[in-house]
Amino acid sequence: MMVALRDGGAFFKPRRVIWRFFQCPVKTMKISSLIAQLRDQCPTPGNRIGTGIDLTNLQANTPLLTPCAYVVPVADLASKSVAQNLNLHPIRDNFEVTLVYDITDAKKARDLMHELRAELWLVLVGFKPGSDYEAIAYDGGKLVSINSNRSLYCLRFFTEFQIGRNQPGQSAESWQDRELDGSSSFPGGTVRVDAIYPADPNLKRPGLEERLERTFSGDVPHEQSQRSAADPRLSRTRPGTGRSVAPRGL
């Protein structure tokens, strides 16, 4: 393929064309990691930490060992992609920890919520629930329910990650990533320059005179492509195309 560039009359002849991007393995915040962290590091509730919450049942004064806590993922908020030509979306995962504690002894109950809240801050704020997540931050709290025997107080937290890989060799996280994985490599290109001389009296109108003034080439090393081509065991077929593609991260 020969392409004439208007500014300077350059010809560009690519050897093999592909766009390779640096983009982030599939990420997911597992509630089990939060449960384990709380059970291991929170001495007051101890093992009385679970996931999911039934407010109606808790507010009905059913028999329950307190204090205890319940972890619930509540929302994920997506921001606009930070790149113009890639799907790189910052995501904020929000979750809540609801504390349930006994208040029949008013004297003890006055400080219990603050002590439990301080324990949660100590254990969760700054903790990373996964290798691809930012440190957890506190987002405020509120009283959910209170009666003569029991009180429920909810604390909100969040952590952030990104959809879209930012390092080569990581697993695809979007269809765009999979398409890029299935593209061929770009080993280099050759540029042939034919300068345009608008004032040349031998030309009826300004244009290319079909005389090359300069030729130069550039190579782009791609170890992955070389290894894949040398060893057919390192290739796979992209779904739906039958095309052989080299795996990422080799």
User: CB–CB of 216/223 below 8 Å?
Assistant: no
User: CB–CB of 70/34 below 8 Å?
Assistant: no
Residues 46, 68: Cα–Cα separation, whole Å: 8
What percent of the chain lies above the pLDDT cut of 70? 71
Are 78 and 139 found together in one domain? yes
In a domain, 69, yes or no: yes
Are 190 and 236 found together in one domain? yes
In a domain, 168, yes or no: no
Q: Which residue has the higher pLDDT, 241 or 127?
A: 127
The pTM assigned to this predicted structure is 0.63
Are 185 and 80 found together in one domain? no
In a domain, 226, yes or no: yes
Q: What local confidence, expressed as pLDDT, does residue 196 receive?
A: 67
- Using 50, 70 and 90 to split pLDDT, how confident is the model at 224? very low
Number of structural domains in the chain: 2
Instruction: Please name which of 21, 4, 62, 11 lies closest in space to residue 168, comparing C-alpha atoms.
Output: 21
In a domain, 60, yes or no: yes
Are 35 and 60 found together in one domain? yes
* Tens-place pLDDT, residues 163-179: 888 776 778 888 888 88
Other C-beta atoms lying within 10 Å of the C-beta of residue 79: 12
Instruction: Please name which of 94, 89, 95 lies closest in space to residue 162, comparing C-alpha atoms.
Output: 89
Q: Which residue has the higher pLDDT, 107 or 32?
A: 32
Domain of 119: which CATH number? 3.30.2000.10
Q: Extract the tokens encoding 29.
A: 């915040």
Which contacts (CB < 8 Å, 24+ apart) does range 73-80 have?
73/29, 73/31, 74/156, 78/163
Query: Which residue reads 């879209």 in tokens?
Result: 164
Question: Would you give the distance in Å from CA 143 to the centre of its chain?
Answer: 33
Are 35 and 159 found together in one domain? yes
Q: Extract the tokens encoding 185.
A: 């490599």
Taking residues 19-43, report their average pLDDT.
Answer: 72
For 114-118, 137-141, 221-225, which range has the lowest pLDDT when averaged over its residues? 221-225
Give the up-direction half-sphere exposure of residue 146: CA atoms within 13 A in the CB hemisphere.
Answer: 10
Query: Which residue reads 């080993």 in tokens?
Result: 187
Residues 73, 51: Cα–Cα separation, whole Å: 9
Are 43 and 18 found together in one domain? no
Are 58 and 150 found together in one domain? yes
In a domain, 239, yes or no: yes
Q: Give the structural domain span for 58.
A: 31-163
* Tens-place pLDDT, residues 87-121: 888 999 999 999 999 998 888 888 999 999 999 99
Residues 192, 92: Cα–Cα separation, whole Å: 49
Are 63 and 12 found together in one domain? no
Helix (H, G, I), strand (E, B) or coil at 193: strand
The whole-chain average pLDDT of the chain stands at 75
